[in-house]
Structure 1
Amino acid sequence: MKKTTRTSIVVLCYNSLKEATRPCLESIIFNTPVDSYELIVVDNASSDGTADYLKDFGAQHANVRIQLNDTNKGYAGGNNDGIKLARGQYIVLLNNDTLVPSGWLDSLIKVFSEQPDVGLVGPVTNAAGNEQRIELRGLNEKNFEKTAAAYVERQKGVWFTTEKLGFFCVAMRRTLTEKIGYLDEKFGIGMFEDDDYCIRAKKAGFFLAVAEDCFVYHKGSVSFNKLSVEIYREQFEKNKTYFKEKHEIEWTLTDIAFCYWDKFDKDLSAYVKNNKKGSPEIERISIRLENFKHLLVQIHRVELSSMFSNTREISSHPVAIHAKWQTRWQNFMRNMVHGTSVEKYRYFRSLSGRVIQRFSQKQGVQIPQAVFYKLHAIRETLNGRKLIIFPATVDFHYMTQRPQHLARAFAEAGYVVIYGTLNNQVDKVEITEQVATNLYLLNEHYFPFISYVFKPAETTYYCLWPNNIKHLEYLTYSYLLYDYMDDLSLLELSSSELENDHQKILNQANLVTVSADILMSQLPKHILPKSLLLNNAVSDEFIDTVNASNINLIDQVTLSSHPILGYYGAIAEWLDFDLIECLAKELPNSKIVLIGPVSECVSKRVADILWNYSNVVVLPPCKQLELIPFLKRFDICLIPFIRNDITNAISPVKLFEYLSAGKPVVTTNLAECVKYTLLHIANDHHQFVDLVRNILSAYPMKLDVLAQQLALDNTWKQRVQQIRLKMEQ
């Protein structure tokens, strides 16, 4: 045997000679080039003739060494004996209940030569508890070589990183064992020593990988299956407790679920990028779906087991029927199996991030180096100041609404601000992006790591939307703000969950800011002392830009000398399209200009109006300051909302922007508009048209100085000052 042996294969045996050990060793000899490895077989005091068989087997093969133990040293102890005997640059631990095909070893070891930071590599298989498991149709012990060969050929050269590996077959660098040592023998006969070793490898700076083009057939825990249920359960709980005490983290199935999501996310991203039929990426996802569903069922059972026993015992109970994981599985199938490529991509980008948020803190995930540097750079700017954290609501670079205004105003007031984004609309933030002095965007997938860098005493969390209460699970802070800014029905989420989260955060918050009078009236009495009415406002930057003399008017809306009736904002279901048609019909010499994104649910109605009325113009959305040339060209500003519970609870952001330009504003009788006497309030369509017609009779109109002053009295800078004063009380 040469001392420069490239790979040492260690096979640990304990009984099961005919059903496991003999077929395993024969498959190795038959399917692995003799000059590429040495084979070390360790027997843990078998009593079924294994020792005699191994003596003969070793005598027949020059590259085989046999270690016969007098006692059963368990999984870790037996494998450690083999590792100590190994001479190879790489060491493969292979269970005796496995079968290997031709080419398996080269595919497994190849990852090491291509990826120097990888310390452990595992294959894909038919039986494992994580994303290594794949389902190949018709595969069995007799045909696995032929059945798996076609798949691994299609996946040639593909590998992916993971958080944990099953040690039924695992390859490791010798440098890894030299750095972190052997398997922990305190785990006894087995269980959890593989997860333990994976964590130790990651802490030492190594990555874990799975070779998609290496398949190993696994019969599945032949030795453990012979244990009684009581002994197995006792060993499991004992080792689980030791694992928790050693690493100070809980072992849960959710960690495995996260690895599945990460795997699916990467494959789907590659699929969208390649965009070709019959792609290997989709195949990699589809052959894991069934096992993933099985995992979700297990997690579902764990969730049910934590509930009251009388709930668990009733199989038809709504909890059992409508459990969260069942719903998630249905959503997964609807988007993944039946969705378009874009829907698949969006779904997994969102879901993988949510799994990170929910479980990374609990599972003790180490902060990625790039994230640490980015967050630390932000912290360096504090210099004794406070940090304000805003969760993801609307993308920062999308239509500027209340969340972006508040974030900017706090930054301008001297706070350091982190604004979360999920890149749902237009943002493209990988980790962080500085958008202004003191103002940083952070991909919300990395929110769990904020508390790794920032201290609670320097952090305030400003929760917008009740579903963002989820961040309280891992964020640490000294002050909690909650902004109640919309009727809850406006959020497309479960109403019962929203209301529950809403009540929870109302009680937990130090201060509740409320955007509208009606919302204020809906607060419980005990919340009122810590609440603050905070209507929407206008930014100083917007006012300054409106007053600038170098703003050019937009050619598109100066096609004629006709008066312009203007609106900007979302063109959605809360617009009164009957009113818009009435204006177009009754005022044919005026142009009605609507600027903003058109919601899909109203797109047909908008198209019909454009077809029937040549004096209606719809223009695409643009950035906030780019709206100002349009605003200055408007003769009358419109707020043509229908009146319902949602719109009555809306404080229109555009209101004070309209007023800052000194324009007359005609609006339907919304609760948040009627309190301003300068506005022209209409109770019905006929009155709305009359108000517009009367204003136009004085055409051309002068700027309304009182309107401009009202805008100056309602700026976001003043709103932040109100919050600061309330916080200091």
Structure 2
Amino acid sequence: MKRNISRIARVIRNPRYALDRIRNRLLLGIKSCVYIVFRLFDQKGVFSSSYFLLYGDTRVYSDICIPQAINRSQKITLIATSLNEMDNIREWFDSVLAQTLLPDELIIVDGGSNDGTIEFLKEQAAQTPFPCQIIVKPDANIAKGRNLAIENASNELIASTDFGCTLDPEWLQKITFPFYDDDEIEVVAGFYKIAKGGKLRMRLLGPTADTVIPQTFLPSSRSLAFRKEAWKKVGGYPEWLSLTGEDTIYAINLRRAHCKWAFVPDAIVEWKAPVTMLGYWQKVLMWSKGDGESGFGSNLYQFSLFRILTLCFAVFIVFVLNTYIIISFSNFWFIFIIAILSLCLLYVFLANFLFNEKIYRLNDLISEIGAEWMRVYGFLQGARNRQSVMKRRFQNIKGFFFILAGVPIDDTGGGSRGAQMAWELLNQGYAVLYLNAFPKYESIDLAINTYHQNLITMSFQDYLLTRHYLVYESIIVEKGCVALVEFPLPIFLSHIEWLRDKGAKIVYDCIDNWESSLGSQWYSREIEKKIVENSDVLIATERSLATTLEKRYYRDVFLLPNAVNSRIFDPYKDYKTPNDLPDNSCWKSIYIGALWGDWFDWDLLIEIANTYPDMAVMVIGDYRGQCKNHPPNIHFLGLKPQYALPAYIKSADVCLIPWKITPITQATDPLKVYEYIAMHKPVVAPLIEPLQHIPAVWLAKDRVDFVSLVKEVLNYPLPIDEIDSFIIQNNWTMRVKQLLNFTSL
């Protein structure tokens, strides 16, 4: 009530505030409607995209005060690319030499200039007070030029800028300061301001300082610094784009890789923007083509198209109105006044509502309308090239895999079966499009690196609604494609049929007993039957699942159990001891996995803890208070990323699978068992069929037997040679090879 009264009082004091809120709410509603309408009419997937603006933790460095004595143990390489830059080169070099902190190395890659740029660069290189390397690579695009410069850099810290810019004297010192202040920072975004030579408004050339949100800011590479290791992590700049948009995609990939960012708003370069209206339009056109090729910012371009269509409609209405008045009335002054009023209303509508900004000058309005036209035209031109661009992007892959999964690739710490298969396929040279049907329900975000240059991840709903699958149509035909279906969901069925029509091989992977509480909300045997009918290969994780499928559908089913990532789980590696481990004075047991479901035996876990009060029971998973009043020696350590698990397992004396024996568990091949034994740890589990004949696993007949085995197994020698032989045959590298043999890809 008080809040509403406060709002009413604010409106009375400031009516403009109310009008602005109404306008903003109206625009938000219009945008939502526009996106829905465009999805319905965009039959070619022109406005589809797998690139989205990501939120990332970013440390802001404002008003930096550089200490006089700072330990600069890491040296800096400054990079830039050039092509016919003779008009800008002298001023750029002067600003580099005027830096309060000079680079330790300068590398410039020229794309084949013919205006004297190369000769001038070589002349300057001989005079600089630091090593300067000029590399000439004719026909190299901007991304190729940047990558070539970084490959040749001899230093770990890379600062990037462009010709056509003038560097603030303290730019290099400020943009590299966070690296020396915090060793964990991998990327530093600077800022740029536009040095306009004219008076035209050019709102599409970049953000203003007051509109930047550091956590989502995607900096231009004209003012950017990063560690070479971060560049390697994301595979460098995307050379598959024709010309522009490379720095946007590079910045998105750095966000996806969960690099640690900093933002230094005072690390400024001044960029010479186009002076003329035509130059402004050409720049917007060029940038938009790059976004059209990648698909980034498709929502913004949809709204730009809406603006253009609205403009045409408004002009048409004014034209019809004035034509009607001219035909219907003979009074000149009446006609003249109506015409002037209608044009004024049109101007106010365009200047204040359509662009959501106050544009007063006619020149500025014409400039922005033209820029919107060029923006849409450029994006559509780029979108026409998208399939050929995708071919360039994936030209070196062995094949293309669709994984139709239930959960996102970073769910459960990134350790799900589908995620493990995806990463191994990527390691073996395949591209993967990973589609999740369900959102992530975990209580915390582990900020797991999900970037790989040949990996695309999307929610299946977005993928289907935006018709993003059309982007890959030619790749499916040329490269060969396999669709791995993990969940027999109704929403997958139509797309499976589409993929099959395009020549893809369909593999149905039965990973669980869905005729249980696991699939009670969505499973349909009829849907599964249709998916099986459309499948070329059937596989199952466990023998009873395979037998059920064979009897039900009269088809051969290959057994493909779970496995372990031997690159991560290596018992011969030294792992850093986690800082949240319980007291080292006690012996330890560990369970890693889901903490929900009617198969998890909380009573057994509590009984184990009570029986061995001198043992720390470590539980790793998404704990949300499921176990009230638990014994003090049960330690809930929370959800952990997959790569962190070996250190915890190595610290344990015995590993647990505290499950009840149910139809679900009798048909489950516990993935974590493979990871436990790979780390040379004994495992105690209930007597379930899938765990028979696995070395170092002791199966308990009942609860009493389980509790006693927890201590007894410590007295039994582990069959290390047998375990190592088992892991050689049961790692994800071998599983993917088996899968490829089944599909003959």
TM-score by length of 2: 0.48
- Specify the structure having the higher radius of gyration (Cα): 1
Q: Using CA pairs below 8 Å that are at least 6 residues apart, which structure has the higher relative contact order?
A: 2
TM-score by length of 1: 0.49
